[in-house]
């Protein structure tokens, strides 16, 4: 095979790989509903997440229950506000056993990549442990840390940093992730 043919084949493969799932995060990580964002106008599902007025839909979970909790600087301890959101998440998950969840741990851009990956992992584990303590089956939950690699806000102010110190519960259909 000639160099030109190999190059063309490589470009085609890379192009197809880039098209894998262009709307994975809905309207973008910072869009309505955040990661796995739920948009839509007038109750019309434009994201594939269901009707936000249907209490059993992912869109309802994201918008009404709340799909994220925030953390203080360098902390993985759950605040009272976070516990309240997570109690509502646990209640919803216990009432909707057909869903599993991946808990994403995130950090702000301060600190090293390694430190923030470990901090994101601790945040995701804190959320997972709380949900399990509220009766959610452990086999329905998985954690992943993105550290500082997937910020919602990009700037150098506390207002932005505080939005990036989070754990996000991303739902999927099926009881095993």
pLDDT for res 65: 95
Locate 62 and state its tokens. Answer: 């994201």
Task: Name the packing angle between helices 80-95 and 113-133 (round to 10°).
Answer: 60
- Determine the average pLDDT of the residues in 163-177: 85
Per residue in 40-94, pLDDT tens? 344 444 456 788 889 999 999 999 999 999 999 999 999 999 999 999 999 999 9
Locate all alpha helices (DSSP H) within the chain, ordered by sequence: 3-18, 58-60, 80-95, 113-133, 158-164
Of 26-30, 31-35, 98-102, 150-154, where does the model show the most confidence? Answer: 98-102
- What are the distances in angstroms from CA 39 to CA 23, 115, 145, 172? 12, 33, 25, 17
Sign of CA dihedral 106, 146, 161, 32: negative
Contact 92, 57 (CB under 8 A): no
pLDDT for res 159: 82
Lowest mean pLDDT among 28-32, 72-76, 120-124, 130-134: 28-32
Q: What is the mean pLDDT of the chain?
A: 81
pLDDT for res 47: 54
Strand order in the sheet with 166-173: 68-70, 166-173, 99-106, 141-147
- How many Cβ atoms sit within 10 Å of the Cβ of residue 5? 9
pLDDT for res 46: 42
């Amino acid at each position: 095979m000639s160099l030109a043919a190999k190059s063309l084949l490589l470009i085609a493969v890379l192009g197809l790989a880039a098209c894998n799932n262009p709307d994975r995060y809905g309207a973008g990580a910072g869009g309505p509903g955040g990661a796995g964002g739920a948009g839509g106008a007038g109750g019309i599902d434009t994201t594939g997440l269901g009707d936000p007025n249907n209490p059993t839909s992912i869109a309802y979970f994201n918008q009404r229950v709340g799909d994220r909790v925030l953390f203080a600087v360098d902390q993985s301890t759950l605040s009272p506000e976070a516990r309240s959101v997570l109690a509502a998440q646990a209640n919803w998950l216990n009432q909707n056993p057909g869903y599993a969840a991946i808990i994403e741990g995130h950090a702000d851009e301060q600190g090293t990549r390694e430190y923030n990956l470990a901090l994101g992992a601790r945040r995701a584990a804190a959320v997972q442990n709380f949900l399990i303590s509220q009766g959610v089956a452990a086999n329905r939950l998985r954690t992943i840390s993105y550290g500082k690699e997937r910020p919602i806000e990009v700037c150098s102010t506390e207002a932005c940093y505080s939005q990036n110190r989070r754990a996000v519960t991303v739902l999927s259909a099926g009881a095993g992730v």
